[in-house]
Structure 1
Amino acid sequence: MRKYAGKILILLFVVVNIVLWLSFLPPDNGRRDFTIKIVSEVLASSAIILMACILFLATKARVLEPLFGGLDRMYQAHRQTAVVALIVVYAHTLTIPVLADGSVGTTLGGIALTGLIALAVWALLPRIIRAFTTYGQGLVAKIPPSYHLWAKIPARYHLWRWFHRLIGLFFLVGIAHLLLVDSLIRRSPVVFGYVIAVSAAAILVYGYKELCYSVAQKKAAYIVQDIRKLSSSALEVTLAPQQTKLSFRPGQFLFVYFDDERFPKEPHPFTISSAPHDNHLRLAVKACGDFTHAMYAHLRAGARAFVDGGYGMFDYRSGGKQQIWIAGGIGITPFLSWMRSFRGTLEYDIDFFYNVRVPEDYLYVEEIQQIAAQYANFRPHLSCTKQDGYLTLDNIMASGKALAECDIYFCGPLPMRETFQNQLRQKGLSTSRLHFEEFNFR
């Protein structure tokens, strides 16, 4: 229930808006379209409240993390709230008695709507393309090659991040629209005061984040001490603190950017694979995007790095005594941090399943085996898809664990996770025991 507290809070902001409208209706002006105008403005003010919540969530404020169950789910709520806000805005446009009167206020409303829709399409296009290529493979061949080139543009993280910052500007345009049109909300001081107060708070947060955050925030300064190529596509980056060590919990992630002209000055998220008591940070990275490919090819010892964290609430210590850990490929990183944090007696009974595509993808196998030799109740199970086939729940159940009594922690590719979720449902088991992070901030 706790992880839904944030979404419930967002809903309460909207409910308060509606209740205030019902409690403090503006006086009837005698126009025939009075009722429909009330409905239209309730929708508009609700959309403004939702957009304000979006700006609050974009701050990455740690105080909000527990309300959503982690930063990953904060971003998920951010995305879902944005979709709902756009639907509400569109419903508002359908109920406007006079759609276009040529006034400045109406024009600004059109600009805000167009801008928000464009940003939403930009953000969702990679997901639409991914779904289309997954479920409509027969049609992909009919798409012109030029489209495939343009489809890659929204996937560029730095472009998405830059355009995403414009959401605050379009929010400001929407507020200007509210103030300039002949609206009923201004005849209801309580409702107007509530909407303006929430909007003003969101604008202050947005302004601080865009203008002052990078200066005021204290990012931990590190130096790249060592680069170790683990395979043909994976590397380990060791960071040494220049002054204060980053504080984090096992399994958390951080945002890092490198003070190197070959890298964009933008933070990227990576799971920390070292333990909190270690003097250095260790990041295991697989080259699978522009930034990580650049890291694999160009990052060198001596480069300055700035980190922000730790974030996330992926923590096996919040689960029961009987546990199953499942890592797919580079998804081993949070489990490495957990294993390296073992101290004294291990209070949990853990079967760790580590699956890779080909044998060359195995990482840290010797270290895992050394840890297993120290803890009898930690049992690793290694499998390779090319040699052993896909890892399934049946394979896991063969270890002797009763799945219904276990907390299952997963980190790996999305299709692999969805497969396990489907297999749990097929066996009549609840998917609520499968814990994972939504490691996708788009």
Structure 2
Amino acid sequence: MTHLSTSLADREIERLASLHPKRHTLSLDRITALLGKLGNPERKLPPVIHIAGTNGKGSASAFCRALLEAAGYAVHVHTSPHLVKWHERYRLGVKGGRGRYVEDEVLAEVLRRIEAANDGQPITLFEILTAATFVLFSEHPADAVVMEVGLGGRHDATNVVESPAVSVVMPISLDHQAFLGDSVELVATEKAGILKRGRPAVVGFQQFDAALDVLVSTAERLGCPLWTYGQDYSAHEEFGRMIYQDETGLADLPLPALPGRHQLANAAAAIRAVRAAGFALSDEAIERAMSSVEWPGRMQRLTEGRLPAHAPPGAEIWVDGGHNPGAAEVIAEALAELEERRPRPLFLIVGMINTKDSLNYFRPFEGLVERVYTVPIRGTDAMTDPVVLATSAYDAGLVGQPMGSIVEALEEIRSIASDPDRRAPRILICGSLYLAGNALADNETPPV
């Protein structure tokens, strides 16, 4: 992703990236051997909430963190990828307060120790970064760990946790087909790989019955205490409030601070997961969490920073890193909800990488969007050419126009949408977590 500055940890990671491949590996053998040399830190963690899913796992992580912190617990959080700085992958818990990203010197020192322990053996950069998660989280006290899977589940480097407090599988759809398979059943099988024998499991909302069947049958085979969305717990909106229900009863809560109707199901999965992991949650703590939850780069509104100055006066600017057709569907639904409440012309600024299904990403936006501006992405050599991306937008029934940058696209929107007789537009920067990171870096508002 984009970096605002080069820190000690940045330099260590850049050096390691030059020595080791950046790809994922479909085996746990190398990460297991490395962790053994480091004293098996993965066995010395606080209770782990392990979260997989094609979409929604980042939101679930954010809700779990908000719930635990609102209840006074110190919680470590591992997410990937980062948006602007590598340090975002490692949030260290603070008792009774808000966690903080790892300090630069601490991360750099841990990376040097991991490289020394590996002693030149074959390893991937992701495995090194995941090993850093286990070392950091084992050496800093906390009450809980929220750990987001990087890719898939069964072979993901985080899946060396042998006895999680709870395993959570969020919505499953097609993505990363080259690694995970070209059917939802195959993808679900990979995600179900994080379920552990006899350990609690929570299944979030599933659009596809085939995915749900795989998850339920796997949990039953492993003897996992199981809670599935819509059967064992649920959430819905009623009179501008969120009504959550599980076997313990009903809770009347504020709507989540994260926009979009889909966030009710994500919040519900997090509440059930935190409880299944054995943590006490009062209704007051859940209320505070729903109001305070934040998740940078996911339907995040930019209200300050450098980018709004390039847009039409009064424009709304949003950023979302969702990058597959399933994500596009929920983003489009969230935008349609905004349109119902506050009608505005909608423009997209889109950048994507070439492993993503751009045509089916664009399809849910047909009829919602006035124009799509396609832009290059910094920080990846797998960028889809903006001209090619504009063609995909056209094929999906949208008007696409390639531009040189986010700023150029904003200024083009300003030139055509500044008529005082028109409503100020709504602008969504989307299509890739890389592009979301570019936007936050350009705006000088990195995650904190």
Interval containing the TM-score (normalised by the shorter chain)? 0.3 to 0.5
Tell me which structure has the larger Cα radius of gyration: 1
More helix by share: 1
The structure, 1 or 2, with the larger RCO (C-alpha pairs under 8 Å, 6+ apart) is: 2
Q: TM-score, normalised by structure 1?
A: 0.33
Q: TM-score, normalised by structure 2?
A: 0.33
